[in-house]
Structure 1
Amino acid sequence: NKIATVCDVFLFFFSDIDECADGFVECDSKSTCVNLPGWYHCECRDGYHDNGLFSASGESCVDINECKTGRNTCANDTVCFNLDGGYDCRCPHGHNCTGDCIHDNKVKHSGQIWVLDSDRCSVCSCQAGQVMCRRMVCDCDNPNADLFCCPECDPRLSSQCLHQNGLLTYGSGDTWVENCQQCQCLQGQVDCWPLPCPPVDCEFTVVPEGECCPRCVTDPCQADTIRNDITKTCTDEHNISRFSGSSWIKHGTECTLCQCKNGHICCSVDPMCL
């Protein structure tokens, strides 16, 4: 197979050489050799970083001062000492380091948990010399739960509902009307449905301001809802027939709107147009 023979020759001449494994490269003691396809480089070891010169042999790798950069895990009662390629946490002379914390000028032992004096709903703990604070986790199954911090655990409040305005509260079973809807509080959940209105049997109706249900009126021009009969038409000022429900701008004006309401012409002037 000539194709396979050519590929074998190609791989023989062009396969990657691992300079690191073959010992062709000597990196600086602060770096380690990393093989790349067709090349290699000396990468800085942990605890070192390049000083910006990027020398191929790794001579540009310098020590990282973890004590100055804050990249250390020393507890509050220990002192950080920088070492070549690392650091050490040491106790000051005459001290017995325990990983305790200082909080509000008070000693808190490692693992101790306490409630903040300024916020009884926040819990703090000392963990290896570090103070960690968070919001109290509410466990409503705990009979000793602080209801001030966990109002959702109060059985008296859990069944109450908040009005849409965010100011009023209702007990379970209470009803109220909001935006022409009948609402009810059901075990802490608000359920609303359209307000039922009594039937009206008239041609022209209007819903008065502040009310939800329509009322009958005799003047068609006062009505906001009508049962349009397309067989009833209106004749405008130019003797043009207009179907019931249609509207038009009165001739010779720009701000007068007319409408045909079941054979009755009703015109009004738009004050914003003037």
Structure 2
Amino acid sequence: MKFAEKKPLAVAYIDECATQMHYCQSNTVCLNLPGSHRCDCLPGFLRVDEYSCTEHDECASGQNLCDENAICTNTIRGHLCTCKPGYVGNGTICRAFCEEGCRSGGTCVSPNTCVCPSGFTGRRCETDIDECAEGLIECHNHSRCVNLPGWYHCECRSGFHDNGSYLLDGSSCIDNDECSLQTHTCWNDSVCVNLPGGYDCVCTSGPGCGGDCPHEEGIRRNGEDWKPSFDRCAICSCKDGQTYCRRRPCDCGDPDEDLFCCPGCDNRPSSQCLDQSGRTLYRSGASWMYGCQQCRCMEGEVDCWPLVCPVLMCEYTAVAEGECCPRCVTDPCLADNLSYDIRQTCQDPAGAARLSGDTWHMPNSPCTTCKCKNGNVCCSVDLDCLENN
């Protein structure tokens, strides 16, 4: 018995292009293939993806609004902006993001990278640079360097005063003439002789030139030193009939040294102090800056007092972010110490007169705020506002 030979079945393919069962988008032409189809771009158009084409590649041509720190993705009707990793924003504005933030007025310039203002250092600008201790500042010999948060000050030494020009390097410190000002303590037959930063009492003749000093109903001999009863940490001397008292020097090598008077010699663990952050341990007598306060460790207890800022005679001053003391500025728009004078007005874009202290928004720019400061129009732009508009 012979069986009929079977012929192979014919395979029928679906023409997706003809039956509109394709996924091709605008600006493409559908090309049918066995078991599939392909979307080819029309002449003059550029491919976006497998199924779509666009007339222009705005990312490649540079005709886009993406921030330099954003990734541009071309789309059919335009482009899409997405901030790169480590940046935040809406794509048209991308700002670097620092996870722990930047302290002391530092600026986040790239992911987890802060640029610190003058006077600060550290990964987050958390460390104040002690310009005085590091020898970065050379004050005039009539003054001494005093460290301030983010800054420094050349303060006139004892026996000197500023001549009113308040020069930054302390060269405006001049001698106090205690003799002509009658602020000396020379007595009996001694004569005041002015010296740089002080004075001396010279006695050449007369009954009061013996040089002895009356003391507690007794006499102290010229050149004699003693510990006074009113201050356990002082030492007094008799010089040419005049008593001088000062804080006595400390000798940490002396096992009997008075630790009350010399806290810097106190190495006992119970006398140490933790700073406000709880990370740094200070010995008794040590000092440090915290915020805008000067702090000191005294036998295990922390004592703080407000920082004394230098007197500035300039017209405009401002306190920079992260600092405690004002600096001189020339721009009244930057000034913090401005007293508003309502007689000095400003003119806004609409031509209306604005009193000193008035604020307004710029027309067609809701993120720009202006303020009148004694006849000066001072404007600023809110970056967060720009991101949301």
TM-score over 0.5 for the pair? no
TM-score (norm 2): 0.29
Structure 1 or 2, whichever has the larger Rg, is 1
TM-score (norm 1): 0.41
